[in-house]
C-alpha cells in the first residue's frame, strides 16, 4: 500500500506546485502525512495480525503433531489393553476349567462319602435286624446264596454261627457253607465242610445230601472206592429218600 501512495503523493505535489498556492500545498502535504500515518498503522496492525496468524498456525501444527503422538499412544495402549484382555480371558478360562475339574472331583468324593455313609447305615440297620431276629440273618444269607453270591452268603452263614451258636439254623448254616465252596469250584474246602457238618449233626435231614456231594467230589478226585462206600451208606440208611435213588444211579455209573 505504501508503494502505491508514494507515486501518487509525488505526482500530486508536482501538480500542486504548478497550480496551487503554498498554503494549499502545505495542507495537502499534511493530509498526505496524516494518510501515511494511518497507512503505517494499518500496515503495523496487518503485520501484527500476520505474526499472530503465523504463530497460531505454528501452534496448531504443534498441537496436531502432539495429537498424532497422543493418538499413537492411545492406539498402542488400546492394542496392549486388547492383548492384556485376551491374556486375562485365557487365564479366566483356565481358572474356570480348573474349577470345573475340582468341582467334578469334589462331587465324586461327595458321592463316594455318601455311598460309604449309606453302606454304614445299611450295615448298622442289618446288625440291628440280625440281633433282633436271627431268622432274618439266616434268610438274608440264603437269599444271597440263591442270587449266586456264594462269598456273601458264606459270610452271612458264618455270622449266624458266631452270633447264635445254639440257634435253630446252625446245622443248615454249616451245610450251606459247604455248598458255597462247591459253587466256587473249591472241592477241598467243600469236602472238609460237609464232613464237619455230618460229624456235628449225624441225624440231620441234610446228611444224605451231604454224603452224596462228598461222593461226587471224591469220584472227581479219582477216589472211586470211597465214593462208592458213601453211596452204599446212603442207599442202605435212607432207602426211601430221593437221595437213595440218586445213589443207585451213581453206583451204576461207577459200576458195582
Share of the chain above pLDDT 90, in %: 45
pLDDT digits (tens, 9 = 90+) for 170-198: 999 999 999 999 999 999 999 999 999 99
Quick: pLDDT tens for 64-102: 676 676 667 667 766 676 776 677 668 767 766 775 675
Q: Nearest to residue 157, comparing CAs of 130, 191, 124, 120?
A: 130
* 120 found inside a domain: no
Query: Does 48 map to a domain?
Result: yes
Query: Which pLDDT does position 14 carry in this prediction?
Result: 47
pLDDT at 115: 56
Highest mean pLDDT among 32-36, 106-110, 134-138, 235-239: 235-239
pLDDT band at 234 (very low <50, low <70, confident <90, very high): very high
Domain, as residue range, for 49: 2-71
Cα distance between residue 173 and residue 153, in whole Å = 10
CB 60 within 8 A of CB 52: no
| Domain tally, the chain | 1
CA dihedral 22→26→32→33, nearest 10 degrees, is 150
Rounded CA separation 30/201 (Å): 163
Domain presence at residue 16? yes
How many C-beta atoms surround the C-beta of residue 170 within 10 A? 18
Tell me if 158 sits within 8 A of 177, measured CB to CB.
Answer: yes
- pLDDT grade for 117, boundaries at 50, 70 and 90: very low
Average pLDDT over residues 194-204: 95
Query: Does residue 65 lie in a domain region?
Result: yes
pLDDT digits (tens, 9 = 90+) for 30-45: 767 777 777 677 677 7
Confidence (pTM): 0.51
Question: Does residue 45 form part of some domain?
Answer: yes
Asked whether residue 43 is domain-assigned, the answer is: yes
How far apart are the C-alpha atoms of 250 and 220, rounded to whole Å?
A: 12
Residue 42 lies in a domain: yes
Its sign, for the CA torsion 104, 107, 111, 117, is positive
* Lowest-confidence segment of 47-51, 136-140, 200-204, 221-225 by average pLDDT: 47-51
19: in domain: yes
Amino acid at each position: 500500500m505504501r508503494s502505491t501512495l508514494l507515486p501518487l503523493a509525488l505526482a500530486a505535489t508536482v501538480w500542486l506546485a504548478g497550480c496551487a498556492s503554498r498554503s494549499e500545498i502545505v495542507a495537502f502535504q499534511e493530509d498526505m502525512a496524516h494518510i501515511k500515518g494511518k497507512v503505517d498503522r494499518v500496515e503495523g496492525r496487518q503485520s501484527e495480525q500476520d505474526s499472530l496468524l503465523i504463530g497460531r498456525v505454528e501452534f496448531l501444527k504443534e498441537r496436531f503433531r502432539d495429537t498424532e503422538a497422543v493418538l499413537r499412544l492411545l492406539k498402542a495402549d488400546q492394542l496392549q489393553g486388547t492383548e492384556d484382555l485376551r491374556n486375562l480371558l485365557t487365564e479366566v478360562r483356565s481358572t474356570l476349567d480348573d474349577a470345573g475339574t475340582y468341582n467334578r472331583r469334589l462331587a465324586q468324593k461327595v458321592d463316594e462319602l455318601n455311598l460309604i455313609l449309606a453302606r454304614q447305615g445299611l450295615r448298622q440297620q442289618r446288625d440291628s435286624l440280625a440281633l433282633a431276629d436271627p431268622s432274618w440273618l439266616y434268610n438274608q444269607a440264603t437269599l444271597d446264596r440263591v442270587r449266586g453270591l456264594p462269598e456273601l452268603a458264606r459270610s452271612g452263614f458264618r455270622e449266624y454261627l458266631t452270633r447264635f451258636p445254639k440257634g435253630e439254623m446252625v446245622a443248615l448254616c454249616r451245610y450251606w457253607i459247604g455248598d458255597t465252596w462247591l459253587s466256587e469250584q473249591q472241592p477241598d474246602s467243600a469236602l472238609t465242610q460237609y464232613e464237619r457238618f455230618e460229624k456235628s449233626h449225624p441225624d440231620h435231614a441234610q446228611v444224605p445230601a451231604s454224603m452224596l456231594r462228598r461222593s461226587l467230589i471224591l469220584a472227581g478226585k479219582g477216589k472211586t472206592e470211597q465214593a462208592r462206600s458213601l453211596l452204599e451208606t446212603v442207599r442202605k440208611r435212607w432207602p426211601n429218600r430221593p437221595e437213595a435213588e440218586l445213589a443207585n444211579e451213581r453206583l451204576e455209573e461207577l459200576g458195582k
